[in-house]
Structure 1
């Protein structure tokens, strides 16, 4: 038996990195998965990998920074399967986006209002828009698990990416508020905070781990994390194994935020 047997699970940002690892892992654990991202071709690749491993589900291409996109995703899931048991809010942008869109990962004084609004719409608004629509189904069924993927940047300050850190910190406190508001209706909400994970989002950073001195500065474990390691944390919170976890934050960062300064 799988840890998510008979569950209907939405995973956003499912086409790459942590989202794709989560999408594939949930399917292997028995969930019927609904993956969402912006690019159809990448979603098709993810769905093909799920089906090749015997999993089942569907994909929906949508821009979740808009309410129309959130409606497209959730309506498609409900039309196909009638309910949503699990939501993993994971879609977002980070440092790779900043390289392609200069100024979007800047310090506050260098952040234009346009860049602030764009990053917030992707990294925070999308979580609200999708969760709001999924909650309608979960409240009706008096059951559900929501996993909001934030970042170690929501726990500690960073020298740049100030819009990013503001969004991630907001996700963490939104998680707490949701947790205490919906627990009596059978809905748990928890939060996973990745550190340096070897994904396209931080592709310009991960080569630094090849230098042992730089690696230990970045993480006490002295390596980048793997997407599958974060997916495993998402699985724990999605499954009934975490039935008494609600409003919790799990750091998956190799100990980076546990220290006051690098050793």
Structure 2
């Protein structure tokens, strides 16, 4: 308990999945949490979970693919608590985005410039916007921790979802670049690289684990990870337990990449 007691954590993608799990876990561990997502109803559910866990938090609906949305999120955090000690960038879309945006998760020769820009804006530009606005605040405070949720798809290729893999690869290298740039400001920047995680983002493909042979091929643990398992990894990198981690890519994938 109290692993981030007294800290303020700004968590994006807080409406569902890993972001929601981070909100609840960080609140249980003593942080004041600010959750950001595009959908107010999802945020309301997340905040109810935070309150039920005895936590202190607020939520704000904003589109982080735009600079204006990120400005709204950061302003809300500062208005509520006056500082930002931890930034967890969970916002993004995955393969299920196909349902809302056909053509967004295909190979490069089947992706329009508009779909490329759309996914990049959500999965990479949002991270840039949030870091650009939060780092000056952390400098003023004397430090902070940034945790970016990326993907093993940013390390290895996929036969589809080329925009997604490019965005996640960019997020990993941006993490490393921020890390080596802001060391002297006492700002740490690290990321986790999840594998298959049981979230709405990949709900449409999780049925693959129902077949034992396919499940074994996907990961040695033969199951998807949980949002809570990812949240614990984010908690470690956001807390003072990881003060010698800088530019770290923490792979949390049940062994998927270990045998490649």
TM-score under structure 1 length normalisation: 0.97
Partner of residue 240, structure 1: 240
Q: Is the partner of 2:208 in helix, strand or coil?
A: helix
Q: Distance in 1 between matches of 2:208 and 2:16?
A: 21
1:100-115 alignment, distance < 5 Å:
100-115=100-115
Structure 1's unaligned 5+ residue stretches are none
1: CA distance, partners of 2:80 / 2:135: 17
2-side partners of 1:149 and 1:208: how far apart? 23
Within 5 Å, give how 1:208-227 maps onto structure 2: 208-227=208-227
User: Residue in 1 aligned with 2:116?
Assistant: 116
Who is 1:24 aligned against?
Answer: 24
Distance in 2 (CA, whole Å) between partners of 1:231 and 1:71 is 25
Equivalence for 2:66: 66
1:10-36 Cα deviation digits (max 9, x unpaired): 000001011100111000000000000
Structure 1 ranges of 4+ moved more than 6 A: none
What does residue 53 of structure 1 align with? 53
Q: For 1:76 and 1:224, locate their aligned partners in 2 and report how far apart those are by CA, in whole Å.
A: 34
Aligned residues: 260
d(CA) in 1 for partners of 2:123, 2:74: 18
1:8 corresponds to 2:8: yes
The CA RMSD measured in Å over matched residues stands at 0.7
Instruction: Quote the offset at 1:100 in angstroms.
Output: 2.6
1:43 aligns with 2:43: yes
Matched, 1:82 2:85: no
Q: Which moved more, 1:199-208 or 1:226-235?
A: 199-208
Shift of 1:96: 0.4
CA deviations 1:36-82 (Å, max 9, x no partner) are 00011110110011001100010000000011100000011111211
- Give 3-state SS (helix, strand or coil) of 1:2's partner: coil
Aligned to 1:65, the other structure's residue is in SS state coil
Shift of 1:210: 1.7
Return 179-188 or 205-214, whichever deviates more: 205-214
d(CA) in 1 for partners of 2:250 and 2:118? 27
In structure 2, runs of 5+ residues without a counterpart are: none
Q: Deviations over 1:106-150 (max 9, x none)?
A: 000011000000000000000000111111110111210000110
Once the 2 structures are TM-superposed, how far is the Cα of residue 99 of structure 1 from its aligned partner?
Answer: 3.0
Secondary structure of the 1:237 match is: helix
Aligned to 2:132: 132
Residue 181 in structure 1 maps to residue 181 in structure 2: yes
What TM-score do the two structures reach when normalised by structure 2?
Answer: 0.99
d(CA) in 2 for partners of 1:37 and 1:198? 19
1:197-246 deviations in Å (ceiling 9; x for gaps): 00111111112212111100111110010110000100000000000000
How far apart are the structure 1 equivalents of 2:97 and 2:155? 21
Distance 1:149 1:32 in 2: 20
